[in-house]
Chains A and B, each alone.
Chain A
Amino acid sequence: MELIHKLKEVGSSVIPISIIVTILHFFVSPLGSGQLASFYIGASLVIVGLALFLLGTEVGLLPIGEKIGSTVTAKKNLPLLLGTGLVVGFVITFAEPDISVLASQVASVNSSINETVLIALIAIGLGFFISIAFLRVIFKLSLKWMFVIFYVMLFVLAIFSDPALVPVAFDSGGATTGPMATPFIMALGIGVARVQKKQEEADNFGFLAFASIGPILAVLLLGISNPNSESGSAQGMNLLYESGNFIPLFFEMAQDVFFSLLPLLFIFALYQVFLVRMPARQVGRMIVGIIYAFVGLVLFFAGAHGGFMPVGFAIGEALGMLSSEVLILVGIIFGAVAVIAEPAVWVLVEQVEDISRGHIRKTIMLIALALGVGVSVGLSMIRIVTGISIWYFLVPTYALSLLLLKNTPILFSAMAFDSGGVASGPMSSTFILSFAIGASVGQGGNPATDAFGVVAFVAMSPLVTIQLLGLLYQRKQAKIEKKGAKK
């Protein structure tokens, strides 16, 4: 049965993180006994929640997105297509709880920025770029050139933008693609690609990549128009939850997830009534799927907030006081194990396996992501220890990933730019972020400024590692073909 299979898979991805925390507890940084217990409860909630969420997206969210994508394309109506992009962008922005958190962070760094204006700009940016993603597939524009143009543009804008806002802007790219929006946006792209006669695997991807560019652009533009910055005054760090207390957390999370689900349901209902018109049986399946996804996410968030966040903070703080070397090392390990417990990452790698018909295996993608994010979190620990500017990390990494575009197979480039936003989900914004804040507190740094940018770090490394994986695949493929030719 599918649910049991998923439980096993997801379980094996959460167990490494639990083992490491246990080892650290006994040998390096002892936790309170209640903390460890609630960490284990949290871990089991995360496993069950993740498995349910994945089952739910498979039967519910993904088919809805695909159907909407393919139907809208098959209607051959350009205004409808672009309108859909805008509507989806708007709805997702308002659905994502992370965005309002982000907006208040921005406002706390630069007081001349109006929160409502910012949210509206992000919504327009996101909608505009989803429309661009539609156009790209229809007009067969080169994905690689578009990436180069848009990212160079982002960096040029970043030079002129308010420096305090730059890390926040790059964080926002990861923040918009949360676990509900990710499968939906991805499925839209797959739906559009599916009705094309000339089928290219790469057409299935790229929607998420564009979805992360929009918000970055919006925040940077705001930074240019409002240059006066009063950095350092950031507070708003009510990110930390207490250990345990799962029952009230359930209600709180249920509310959050419900409100992020509601707008998606609204789009679904709208398109079902006026355009898609699926048979009743199929609609029933989707509703059941959405319920699974909802329950799964609530369990996941409750587990992550009640179990993982306090532990992340405690370990970060203890290690920060202990030694910088151990901190960096543990950062690498935590990064690697946290990304493979990220809900949206699982949705992505399963889609990749499906679309490549089993050719690109889940495990290989997960390993590449784990390596990349491990290095990323290690680097952000170095930044916390040394306090070097974020530019020294962002510019070379993005430059490298744009250079890699030249030789990487297009499918892998598309996947790489998609996984950037996907890798930075709730796991990095709970566990990794609180670990970084703890580390910064332990080191005696300024957690408010150091914590910004961690999500951006997590989002940048898959761009490089997945493309490197693509180069490896290409070489291997060439070898196999040579062998075949000899025969």
Chain B
Amino acid sequence: MKGTLLLSIVGRGEAEKLMSIAKRAGSPGGTILRGRGTASSNLMSILCLGDSRKEILMTLVFDEQYDAVFEAIRNAKHIHGICASLSSKRSYVNRTLHTIEGVRTMNSDWELIQVICNSGFAEDVMDVARKAGAGGGTIVDGRGTSRPDDLKFFGASLVPEKELLLILVEREKSEKVLGAITSLPFLQQEGNGIAFTMPVERFIQFGKKGNNE
């Protein structure tokens, strides 16, 4: 049995709504994160007027419910944002390991670029990504997990602050955007960040007419 991760990035207060829609269609549940949407143009970004609060909904659905849930999400009304489905090769739910059997070949024209970098740098990464053709991104605050030899300060372990930047781009632009990101000087040093891409199976832009993949 194969699971698929549906990653939706929507406006403030909309993740719960979307979750209840997905639940009605058979999804078992999900996790909501809070993020910050970056500005979509350089001017707005310099004026700091383009920021917006975003919510990120992650729900894992199995093949049986996948089509119903995806249709329900696609037809959701009054939701602003995007939804990308990412295939998961193995998933571990309720103490059973579900392993993939056949690989679904369907792929959309979109890719998800994820950058994890030291806190404070995500805006810079987004800047070069935008110049290389990306539309906008979403920043989530996080912290690195500490290693055993990590910093100790009077018995309290300290961990580094991290930012996770999610950018969805068309596949043809993905190489260029990733190239621009990796050429950033501060990402040349070890330990400052990582970046990777994932193929997106299906993609929805809420509110956009047609909603084709």
Contact = CB atoms under 8 A, between A and B. Distances in A.
Interface of A: 1-3, 5, 55, 58-59, 63, 67, 70, 73-74, 76, 78, 138-140, 194-199, 278-279, 281-282, 284-285, 288-289, 292, 354, 357-358
A478 to B, nearest CB: 21
Nearest to B141: A194
Contacts of B53: 2, 5
Contacts of A281: 123-124, 127
A76 B151 CA distance: 8
Contacts of A194: 143, 161
A282 B151 contact: no
27 contacts: A5-B12, A63-B120, A67-B120, A70-B119, A70-B161, A74-B151, A74-B158, A74-B160, A76-B153, A138-B154, A138-B156, A194-B143, A195-B160, A195-B161, A196-B156, A197-B157, A198-B157, A278-B120, A281-B123, A281-B127, A282-B124, A284-B46, A285-B123, A289-B48, A292-B48, A357-B33, A358-B34
B159 A195 contact: yes
A274 B46 CA distance: 25
B153 A138 contact: yes
B186 interface: yes
Interface of B: 12, 32-34, 46-53, 55, 119-121, 123-124, 127, 143, 146, 150-154, 156-161, 186
A358 B49 contact: no
Nearest to A195: B158
Contacts of A292: 48
Contacts of A140: 156
Nearest to A277: B120
Given A281-B127, A354-B34, A358-B32, A198 B49 contact: no
Contact of A196 (B34, B47, B51, B159): B159
B52 A76 contact: no
Given A197-B158, A198-B157, A281-B123, A3 B186 contact: no
Contacts of A70: 119, 161
B209 to A, nearest CB: 23
A279 B53 CA distance: 23
A149 B146 CA distance: 35
B158 A1 contact: no
Contact of A285 (B48, B152, B153, B159): B48
A483 to B, nearest CB: 15
A173 to B, nearest CB: 29
Given A59-B48, A76-B158, A138-B153, A279 B121 contact: yes
A282 B120 contact: yes
Looking at A55, A198, A281, A282, which has the most chain B CB atoms within 10 Å of its CB? A281
Contact of B156 (A5, A55, A197): A197
Task: Report whether over half of chain B's contact residues are helix, strand or loop; otherwise say mixed.
Answer: mixed
Nearest to A286: B48
A116 to B, nearest CB: 37
Contacts of B156: 138-140, 196-198
A377 B172 CA distance: 63
A138 B151 CA distance: 13
A85 to B, nearest CB: 16
A282 B123 contact: yes
Contacts of A67: 120
Contacts of B55: 358
B161 A279 contact: no
Given A2-B52, A279-B186, A73 B124 contact: no
Contact of A73 (B46, B127, B153): B153
Contacts of A59: 48, 51
Contacts of B46: 284, 288
B48 A55 contact: yes
Given A76-B158, A138-B156, A282-B124, A195 B32 contact: no
Contact of B34 (A3, A55, A357): A357
B124 A279 contact: yes
B44 to A, nearest CB: 8
Of all A-B residue pairs in the complex, the 5 with the closest CB atoms, nearest first, are A197-B157, A76-B153, A59-B48, A281-B124, A288-B48
B94 to A, nearest CB: 13
A200 B158 CA distance: 13
Nearest to B143: A194
Nearest to A284: B46
Contacts of B12: 5
B106 to A, nearest CB: 33
A288 B48 CA distance: 7
B143 to A, nearest CB: 7
Given A281-B123, A354-B34, A3 B143 contact: no
Contact of A197 (B34, B49, B159): B159
A22 B50 CA distance: 36
Nearest to A279: B124
A139 B154 contact: yes
A279 B158 CA distance: 22
Given A354-B34, A357-B32, 13 more contacts: A70-B119, A73-B153, A76-B152, A139-B154, A140-B156, A194-B143, A196-B156, A196-B157, A196-B158, A198-B156, A279-B123, A281-B123, A358-B55
Contacts of B157: 196-198
Contacts of A279: 120-121, 123-124, 186
A59 B34 CA distance: 16
B146 to A, nearest CB: 5
B48 A73 contact: no
A48 to B, nearest CB: 14
B120 A1 contact: no
Contacts of B50: 1
A2 B160 contact: no
A138 B154 CA distance: 7
A236 B101 CA distance: 82
A352 to B, nearest CB: 13
Nearest to A276: B120
Nearest to A67: B120
Contacts of A139: 154, 156
